Structure 1
């Protein structure tokens, strides 16, 4: 699978991608809102291997490497995941290397995978979640048209504390209305 935007390529993972993923997942800025304390080569190889295995099961999980189009540099990943092949709802997730935060790449990738979900997968609804303090991620979800549906107080425990989780969602009709504006 291959999707393209003005500045990005969203493509299937390759085994050698683990090195680029490790480079950003080991960054303390990335780890701040992650459930992981650290990331090792073995951790990241298993992470990429999980995506490689998902690529072998068509029609359910589409987690794609995010690459700068002209530099051909992997800077993150973005995906949309159904629970069952016939599901009409899916979750959306993304991560971008901290050196590329604030440049619109997460928004560009997430908007592209959202469009894929509604147009190609014929989804009715897409949802996502993030830690409330991750304001960058909150902005991405708002920019792609998702609306806050629920705040779950202190429901995530990691890094020795409780965090609030925000649930965002958008229906196909809401998405169509926003894209027509």
Structure 2
């Protein structure tokens, strides 16, 4: 499933995206808030991409390559809406990573808003969540601009730092759409 926003083109990931996936997720700058760190190798990225492709058959969920409409041949990031278990909670997880040269341009917010609208309208979801690490103020700002609300801090048994848990319900999103229209 492909879809667009005002500046972005989102398309499902394909096996040929592995080099771009490693370039973005293997970059220490994009993974500075991920306690697992950057992807260690191209083979590791291949395994992740293979996993994404295996789970892309679930209706309403998946990972997308993010491209600019004006340059649909260059992947600038990856994002997705995926069912996950995070610290014992079953969630519809919104996640994304952009190459650093595309930070600060409003693209993550545009991506998040587009995917949330798709998730509630076409995906028929009742709630979407996102988890971030404390101190990741840029992602927190994106989530807040998209309408997410901080729910709680969740201990993460795998890593020393907790996670910040944000949610947005379909009812909250609909109410914000009405407020935006006024």
TM-score w.r.t. structure 2 length?
Answer: 0.86
The 8 Å contact of residues 60 and 82 in structure 1, kept in 2 or not, is answered as no
State the alpha-carbon separation in 2 of the partners of residues 43 and 35 from structure 1.
Answer: 16
Change (3 A) 1:23 1:95: same
- Structure 1 residues 88-103: aligned runs within 5 Å: 90-103=92-105
| CA RMSD of superposed structures (Å) | 1.9
Q: CA deviation at 1:60?
A: 5.5
The 8 Å contact of residues 156 and 165 in structure 1, kept in 2 or not, is answered as no
Q: CA deviation at 1:52?
A: 1.6
Q: CA deviation at 1:156?
A: 5.8
Between Structure 1 and Structure 2, how many residues are aligned? 172
Give a deviation string over 1:83-140, Cα, whole Å, max 9, x none.
6xxxxx6221111112211111111111111111100111111111100111111111
Change (3 A) 1:145 1:38: closer
Change (3 A) 1:137 1:123: same
Partner of 2:117: 115
- Structure 1 residues 70-149: aligned runs within 5 Å: 70-72=70-72, 73-82=74-83, 90-149=92-151
Give a deviation string over 1:30-76, Cα, whole Å, max 9, x none.
12112333421101111112222222x23163211111111121111
Change (3 A) 1:14 1:121: same
Aligned residue for 1:169, secondary structure, equals: strand
Aligned residue for 1:35, secondary structure, equals: coil
State the alpha-carbon separation in 2 of the partners of residues 117 and 46 from structure 1.
Answer: 26
State the alpha-carbon separation in 2 of the partners of residues 66 and 141 from structure 1.
Answer: 18
Q: Structure 1 stretches of 5 or more lacking a match?
A: 84-88
The 8 Å contact of residues 60 and 123 in structure 2, kept in 1 or not, is answered as no
TM-score w.r.t. structure 1 length?
Answer: 0.87
State the alpha-carbon separation in 1 of the partners of residues 53 and 4 from structure 2.
Answer: 20
